[in-house]
Structure 1
């Protein structure tokens, strides 16, 4: 299978989407079971009491769900506020939320309380940027003055009418939701499902083909690819191998060189892991604390490894913090939990 192909399927009654690039699985989305709040959902929440010593605040989201807001001050218990679920909770914990919701579409992001119009820096042609800004200014006319707009890179070369309609839809949705701040805890806007996320976030570059059909995962090799992803072992170019193993506290990644135990082989395996790790974490839906137990390599090569890893995560778009080297020589990363682990949502009977 050549090119960039989006597959839309249903597994166990839940919407699912896969992105294949030249026959290789690059991303997968599966709707979670149950009623737990998922990233992107917007709630009118009610503030509970601050958590002393933690600088955070729990909130009631409605339906028995709880949210957790970090680093807040000046919010009284019982105060209503609009928040957006920003990540996936660990078992038994409140879901993380943010008081700065974003309204995302295929081409635009409306930003309440952050005025201004901006165009993605990935659109570099000045004439195209000017065209998009002109359309955006007209489409945002009548929006609340504190609402801003970011035009996404997928908007490049999009017809004026389609782009204006997309922006206007998000403008009106944001204005409607943000005006509904009074009342009890309530879900105001549900999280996007897997098919909507695929349509929205896999648009740049445009897929060569979109296949929406029952059984498309089985027909195009997704099931076999997921079997490989769910296994801990990851083969690396050059004969090395990594093992990605989540625990309750952290995700451990071990890198081995295979039969070649030289320092040169260690550096080669570590660089291969740096290039592959963002994809592995994305596909597996893993985040939180990531600890890398790398193959032996000279200390002088550490900076080169860090640069390769930073570049790979930048291209991936994941929200990560490079915590750095530990006294024992491990490298630590903090990655945002932006989706449920694949192992927890993948149907068991496939």
Structure 2
């Protein structure tokens, strides 16, 4: 099917959302019993961890770990936000840089100033949005970012969204003292779909939408380590305890350019595969053979794909053995958690 579809349904008793683009599964979100990223805690500092540049905190959902801290004393109360999912047996990753994020607006208490998405290029629209932002934020010392969805949204909708986020931020900041507590909960998959999948799409909300729209078939394919690539190649994606290993295969193509074609196909599809499978951490790609002169082109193509992906990923580069390494934020739960 051509076009975009957003399907909101449930799977294995958990709320889930799927984005289909031209009949291919582009993104998938599902809920679990784990704390959701975006949750804001009032936490209590325990003690610094020497050599790790951070400190453990006590929260209602277990211990959290805050990196790069100075001047925080054991017993001190502070506000932190969950940034991703914890690895098994490890503390929750949190930050002190709070973000109050919705479809049109992001309120940033620690970063004052009014900013508008660069993707909105129409000067008249930017001026109108700036006036709305200034009117709603008034003399507040909190910052505001207006997202790309504001370009076609109604002014009243945007103003209402700004007010809601600003009021929520003010309420949370005013509740900074007391015992450890979860002050807000991260968005559910259906809310995340409304918040982040803003391009025009057909919305399917009827029960059984995943089966009718081919989402279940796509999820079945993702449980296979092998992912086909255009041109006959494939990726073998295997998570281990230490890292995620990705092997690029050329398939039956025995031409001189087979490795180059498979590697560039990998650069385009790997971010989608990692996103759908919920894989992060250290990622090592065993590339198909290609001339060293083409490495820069591969890296540029991969960087472009990852930029569009939206999940923080650091490109570490080539190793002496010719592997390529990435460090990717654990922004999603592994898909295996849904079927375990």
State TM-score, norm by structure 1: 0.95
Counterpart in the other structure of 1:175: 170
Structure 1: runs of 5+ lacking an equivalent: none
- 1:13 is displaced (CA, Å) by 2.3
C-alpha displacement of 1:213: 1.9
Distance in 2 (CA, whole Å) between partners of 1:21 and 1:301 is 30
What is the DSSP-based 3-state SS (H/G/I as helix, E as strand, rest coil) of the residue aligned with 1:321? strand
CA distance in 1, matches of 2:157, 2:234: 47
Kindly indicate whether the alpha-carbon contact (under 8 Å) linking 1:117 and 1:149 is maintained by their aligned counterparts in 2: yes
Matched residue pairs, number? 340
Which of residues 13, 19, 40 is equivalent to 2:38?
A: 40
Q: Residue 68 in 1 paired to residue 68 in 2? A: no
* Aligned equivalent of 1:87, options 66, 69, 84: 84
C-alpha distance in structure 1 between counterparts of 2:253 and 2:274, whole Å: 26
Q: Are 1:116 and 2:110 counterparts?
A: no
Any residues of structure 2 matched to 1:246-265 within 5 Å, and which? 246-265=239-258
Measure the CA separation in 1 of the matches of 2:256 and 2:294.
10
Q: Residue 102 of structure 2 aligns with which residue? A: 105
SS at 2:55 equivalent: strand
**Is the 8 Å Cα contact of residues 60 and 66 (structure 1) preserved in structure 2?**
yes
Is residue 283 of structure 2 the alignment partner of residue 290 of structure 1?
yes
Deviations 1:197-247 (A, max 9, x none): 1111111x132x111122110111000001111211111111111111111
CA distance in 2, matches of 1:124, 1:210: 28
1:162 is matched with which residue?
Answer: 157
From 259, 266, 269, the counterpart of 2:262: 269
Aligned twin of 1:185:
180
Give the Cα–Cα distance (whole angstroms) in 2 for the partners of residues 77 and 233 of structure 1.
Answer: 48
Q: Is the 8 A contact 1:68 1:95 kept in 2?
A: yes
2:189 paired residue among 194, 198, 202: 194
Query: Shift of residue 189 of structure 1?
Result: 0.1
Alignment partner, residue 229 of structure 1: 222
How far apart are the structure 1 equivalents of 2:227 and 2:235? 5
Match in the other structure for 2:200: 206
Identify the range of structure 1 (256-265 vs 98-107) with the bigger mean alpha-carbon deviation: 256-265
Residue 334 of structure 1: aligned partner: 327
Q: For residues 22 and 260 of structure 1, what CA distance do their matches in structure 2 show?
A: 27
Alignment of 1:15 onto 2:20: no
8 A Cα contact 1:263 1:298, kept in partner? no
Contact 2:98 2:110 in 1 (8 A): no
4+ runs of 1 displaced by more than 6 Å?
Answer: none
User: Which secondary structure state, in structure 2, belongs to the residue aligned with residue 48 of structure 1?
Assistant: strand
Distance 1:301 1:291 in 2: 18
Aligned 8 A contact 1:11 1:347 in 2? no
Q: Whole-Å Cα distance in 2 between the matches of residues 167 and 223 of structure 1?
A: 37
The CA deviation at 1:150 is 0.4
